[in-house]
């Protein structure tokens, strides 16, 4: 019996040791059903499979920047302009101390965002939103209000030209749209919430932006680093019936300075080499360009571990 016990212990001990030393990190995203939450689920799965790093997705209303700054969370997903604002103490973060403990890990897919109306709506352009009900304030998710403001600016409008309907976050404004409390839905293309809204209201139609230089400048004045992208019809994209010009900006993966170089290296490598796995879980990753993941973000320092990977892979300096 003693020899059997020793044998069992010798077999089990390495497994226990492996579990004890397994690397576990958190990834903060926006609420369940949102574009970044769906992307985060795909990222976590790919990182677990390729890097053997357990990444726990934490969906929440707030951005997660405070948690990264304090070191109570390891990663978050954001858009490129929001993290620039937070590390410089500008934009929605004016008056707050600049966050010094945030680092850039990867530029991922573009957020292709749009204002959606019911397919039967008489609203045909963004300028037609004048006097209409539009979600506003977004106390728990200020960045959403800014993106809607940029769309209004594209059409020569501001929040003063519409009827603001307060919503705390992007999920609530989707609920308000389905309930008929607002006339337009803002969301990223391909989100589960868009499909739900389309089914609930009998179809959606995306409002195309104006791509003239002046109109684009008005957008970029509100959303630094944004750009125009043309999206073609696709079965997965509700509301796009013809090639349509939209506002886009990059989804970026950020990390706390407390994330080790080894973990940041493994995560960057897993995502760079794992496009197939990412697509399998979240199809919008089909537009990921791995060679562009090293694209820098204004004012945000690259994490040393991620930087080492990009140098090893020949992706730095960024193209």
Q: What is the pLDDT of residues 103-121, one digit of tens each?
A: 999 999 999 999 999 999 9
Does residue 12 register a pLDDT over 80?
no
Tell me if domain 23-110+250-312 and domain 112-248 are identical in fold. Answer: yes
pLDDT at 151: 98
Least confident range from 10-19, 38-47, 292-301: namely 10-19
In angstroms, the Cα distances linking 312 to 105, 265, 308, 319 are 15, 10, 6, 15
| Positions of E strands within the chain | 23-29, 53-59, 75-79, 102-118, 133-137, 163-167, 185-188, 204-207, 227-231, 244-256
pLDDT band at 20; cut points 50, 70, 90: very low
pLDDT band at 61; cut points 50, 70, 90: confident
d(CA 251, CA 232) in angstroms, rounded, equals: 20
Neighbours of 270 (CB within 10 A): 22
Does residue 1 register a pLDDT over 50?
no
**Which pTM value belongs to this model?**
0.81
pLDDT at 92: 87
pLDDT at 199: 97
User: What single DSSP character describes residue 118?
Assistant: E
Does residue 155 register a pLDDT over 60?
yes
d(CA 155, CA 178) in angstroms, rounded, equals: 24
Question: How do the domains of the chain map onto residue ranges?
Answer: 23-110+250-312, 112-248
d(CA 180, CA 195) in angstroms, rounded, equals: 16
Please give the mean pLDDT across all residues of the chain. Answer: 92
Neighbours of 70 (CB within 10 A): 12
Let me know if domain 23-110+250-312 sits in CATH 3.40.190.10.
Answer: yes
pLDDT at 6: 39
Say whether the peptide bond before residue 317 is cis (omega within 30 degrees of 0): yes
Burial class of residue 120, CB neighbours in 10 A (0-12, 13-18, 19+)? exposed
Chain position carrying tokens 């209201």: 201
> Do the beta carbons of residue 75 and residue 55 sit within 8 Å?
yes
Q: Which CATH number fits domain 112-248: 2.30.42.10, 3.40.190.10, 3.40.50.920, 1.25.40.10?
A: 3.40.190.10
**Exposed e or buried b per residue across 25-61, where buried means at least 16 C-beta atoms within 10 angstroms of its C-beta:** bbbbbbbebbbbbbbbbbbbbbbbebbebebebbbbe
pLDDT band at 3; cut points 50, 70, 90: very low
Report the share of the chain in percent with pLDDT over 70.
93
């Amino acid at each position: 019996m003693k020899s059997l016990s020793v044998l069992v212990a010798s077999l089990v001990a390495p497994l226990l040791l492996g579990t004890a030393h397994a690397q576990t990190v958190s990834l903060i995203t926006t609420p369940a059903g949102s574009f970044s939450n769906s992307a985060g689920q795909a990222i976590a799965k790919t990182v677990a499979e390729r890097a053997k790093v357990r990444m726990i997705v934490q969906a929440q209303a707030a951005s997660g920047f405070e948690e990264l700054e304090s070191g109570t969370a390891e990663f978050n997903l954001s858009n490129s302009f929001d993290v620039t604002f937070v590390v410089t103490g500008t934009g929605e973060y004016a008056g707050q101390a600049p966050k010094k403990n945030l680092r850039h890990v990867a530029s991922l897919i573009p957020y292709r965002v749009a204002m959606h109306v019911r397919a039967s709506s008489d609203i045909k352009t963004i300028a037609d939103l004048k006097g209409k009900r539009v979600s506003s304030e977004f106390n728990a998710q200020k960045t959403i209000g800014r993106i809607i403001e940029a769309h209004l600016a594209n059409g020569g409008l501001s929040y003063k030209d519409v009827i603001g309907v307060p919503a705390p976050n992007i999920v609530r404004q989707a609920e308000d749209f389905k309930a008929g409390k607002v006339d337009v839905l803002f969301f990223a293309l391909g989100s589960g919430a868009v499909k739900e809204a389309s089914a609930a209201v009998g179809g959606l139609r995306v409002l195309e932006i104006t791509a003239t230089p002046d109109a684009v400048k008005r957008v970029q004045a509100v959303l630094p680093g944004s750009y125009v992208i043309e999206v073609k019809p696709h079965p997965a994209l509700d509301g796009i019936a013809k090639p349509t010009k939209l506002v886009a900006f990059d989804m970026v993966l950020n990390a706390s300075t407390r994330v080790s170089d080894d973990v940041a290296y493994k995560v960057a490598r897993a995502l760079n080499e794992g496009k197939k796995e990412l697509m399998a879980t979240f199809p919008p990753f089909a537009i990921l360009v791995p060679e562009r993941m090293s694209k820098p973000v204004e004012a945000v320092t690259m994490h040393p571990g991620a930087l080492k990977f990009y140098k090893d892979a020949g992706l730095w300096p960024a193209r």
